[in-house]
A and B are shown apart, each in its own frame.
Chain A
């Protein structure tokens, strides 16, 4: 069985500081990894994905994520947080031959001015 863990329910960071939202996964086979963001009263929005190749993936709004196979992690990062980044972030996993996404439980990011 495959699973995604987001160990932090909430992350607090000051505006302008770097942020990290953690994600680890468990799967047999090669993973395809995604980050989505959910703003209040809006649908889930795609941020970035890792399929293959370079372990550092760059996405929307200045976000990036690093795939680490040995640690089975895919942490989301941003060098300088904005108040507008405050939202609910979900890590998700897909595997070869199956289109369904397995989501983590989400991490609420709160950026303080």
Chain B
């Protein structure tokens, strides 16, 4: 079956611009996560959705970052007024509703802010 799909795979934007990154989770997975991976580091948690609601947004670095999942499936990560330090690979993952289950990751969106 289809895995987690993220689009675009690459995004180059100018400093100060607004970007949206999209994630299509595995069908039927109610849990959805966003992580950010900088070069040479492990993924860092940003936000977790259970259904339509953000159950844990403690990893969002500041108010320029926002994510939505209006119908409990597709999610969009939105970054306003991008900065060069936002450059990273943004990873999306999904999992079934039960806790302690493994997450399935997409290939990520590589964001470069120039």
A residues at B contact (CB < 8 Å): 4, 32, 34, 36, 41-46, 49, 51, 90, 92, 94, 98-106
Q: Are A43 and B43 in contact (CB under 8 A)?
A: no
| B114 interface residue per 8 A CB criterion | no
In whole angstroms, how far apart are the Cα atoms of A34 and B93 in the complex?
15
Contact A34 B102, CB 8 Å, known A43-B4, A43-B107, A99-B33: yes
Q: Pick the contact of B108: A34, A43, A45, A102 (CB < 8 A).
A: A43
Nearest Cβ distance between residue A47 and chain B, in whole angstroms? 9
Chain B residues with Cβ under 8 A from A32's Cβ?
100
Complex: chain B residue closest to A44, CB-CB: B105
20 A-B pairs in the complex with CB atoms less than 8 angstroms apart: A32-B100, A34-B102, A42-B107, A43-B3, A43-B106, A45-B105, A90-B43, A92-B42, A98-B56, A99-B33, A99-B48, A99-B56, A100-B48, A100-B58, A101-B103, A102-B45, A103-B35, A103-B42, A103-B43, A103-B44
Q: Are B41 and A44 in contact (CB under 8 A)?
A: no
In whole angstroms, how far apart are the Cα atoms of A87 and B59 in the complex?
27
B residues at A contact (CB < 8 Å): 3-4, 31, 33, 35, 40-45, 48, 50, 55-56, 58-59, 91, 93, 99-100, 102-108
In whole angstroms, how far apart are the Cα atoms of A102 and B42 in the complex?
9
Q: Are A49 and B100 in contact (CB under 8 A)?
A: yes
Q: Are A43 and B105 in contact (CB under 8 A)?
A: yes
Complex: chain A residue closest to B92, CB-CB: A43
Chain B residues with Cβ under 8 A from A43's Cβ?
3-4, 91, 105-108
Please name the 3 residue pairs, one residue from A and one from B, whose CB atoms are nearest each other, closest first.
Answer: A103-B42, A46-B102, A44-B105
Nearest Cβ distance between residue B113 and chain A, in whole angstroms? 22
Contact A100 B45, CB 8 Å, known A43-B91, A43-B108, A105-B40: yes
Chain B residues with Cβ under 8 A from A51's Cβ?
100
Contact A44 B45, CB 8 Å, known A34-B102, A98-B56, A100-B59: no
In whole angstroms, how far apart are the Cα atoms of A99 and B50 in the complex?
10
